[in-house]
Amino acid sequence: MMYQPNNPYGPQPVNYDYPQQTPFSEKPGIPNDPALAPVTVSTQEQYPPRTTPPDKKLTRSRCGFVTAGFFFLALYSTVMSGLWLATAIVQPRWGDMISAKKGRLSPSNAALISQLLSKTIEISFATIFIGYLGQVLSRRAMASKTKGITLADMTMKKWVVQPGSVFTHLGAVSLAGFTFLGVMSFAVLIATFLYTTASEALVAPKLKYSPWKDANMQATVHTWYGNPVYAARQCQPLLKQNPGSDTDLWDMESYYEFFNCLILQFSSQSSHDLYSYLIDWNNTDATDIEFADRPAGSTMVDNNVTMQASWLDAKYKDVPELYKKWGRIIDNATIALPHPRVWEAFRSPANGILQPEDLGGLGGINIKARVSSPTLNVLCVNMDSNELQPIISETWSDGEDKNTTERRQDQEAKPGSTVVDDVFGWTDLGGRDRPLFAKASEPVPPT
């Protein structure tokens, strides 16, 4: 009869699936002491030997919300990418559509919308590629006739989402970077990384000079060009003067009263222009640059617009060549200023030109106008006192004391011919009359 020790926990259950083990207390030579029994500790959880396959399928139907979402993102990315590419190639002019006052969008809002759309294109493109990459790797893992996938293949998704992982997982890059999916992942990485920057540079609206084009511009015409009487009447209200329309301009007192305001305006404007010219001249080494590159002067229009003059006929400035031709020192210089009404045509709403205030205070425009422009020619000729006698009235020996105005009104007293008539183009045939001076200027002593 076999001795069965007392078990304080009750009878031990019998496991019929595993071999029977002899209780520790039944081994021969060992006393029946529970404290001396060995303790077995294991971290392995026991699972039942038989399991049933999961009910959830590993594949998914092609028709569903996820598929529809991917299809919509692919369509959006394709259409918007094509539109962005066409815009970058064509570079359209937006005109009044984007302006601060009369446009549908302000320049700042247009730039913001462009950045948002480019970001959505970038995100949708990256999402579609990650979905494609997951589908390819899943099919490769479940197919029976393939080698399966590696851990390096599974990290390719991070290359697109986290570009920095390319440098932190160089081992995976060396294994999967030269495969077809690896090359595609690198291409998508570069595209998504630079897409927003390229969109800002090529698609976002920005100020840019357009090619030259012909256009008819309109401006208000008040009188014939260079009318001093009209200019004087426009200036007279500043001095609260209103000479009558029958003012005798041949009378010196009436003349200066009529043109007093215009004379003051010209004097102030010319002083300002001369001061600006001297500043430019002092900042230029005139001995080391060509004549055409020297400062030509400037003037102001409406007290806020600067018009820059330009040198004309620079080839006639060649003093040595002129000396060979005429046998004397001749300095011939001509400058031209833009027509002042070109500025008015630019500001006129009838011409539909975007103004700086429409573009947030930025922008510019170049206008080449086919109009007559005011020019100033200075022809200096070296002459001695004897050669000047025919045009100096005080040297005439008619015994009459007359001023220059009276000499000019005298039909019989006319300046005689000089040795420089051909230089100045003076003729007796009704062309360019010779000038008449009261006296010759005092010669400047040499320094």
User: Which tokens belong to 221?
Assistant: 């015409």
Q: Which amino acid is at 424?
A: F
More confident residue, 394 or 399: 394
Looking at 155-196, which runs of residues are DSSP E strands?
A: none
Mean pLDDT of the region 312-340? 83
Model confidence pLDDT, tens digit, residues 262-310? 888 888 888 989 998 899 888 877 666 777 778 888 888 877 888 888 8
Q: Can you say how many angstroms the Cα of residue 11 is from the centroid of all Cα atoms in its chain?
A: 93
- The number of residues making up the chain comes to 447
pTM for the complete prediction? 0.56
The per-residue pLDDT of the chain, averaged, comes to 76
User: pLDDT tens across 113-151, in order?
Assistant: 999 999 999 999 888 888 888 888 888 887 767 777 778
Q: Mean pLDDT, to the nearest integer, of 205-221?
A: 84
Q: Residue 212: is it exposed, middle or buried by C-beta count within 10 angstroms (0-12/13-18/19+)?
A: exposed
For residue 369, pLDDT over 50 is answered with yes
Nearest CA among 331, 334, 342, 304 for reference residue 219: 342
Q: Pick the most confident of 32-41, 42-51, 96-105, 386-395.
A: 386-395
Indicate the Cα dihedral angle 356, 343, 347, 354, nearest 10°. Answer: -40
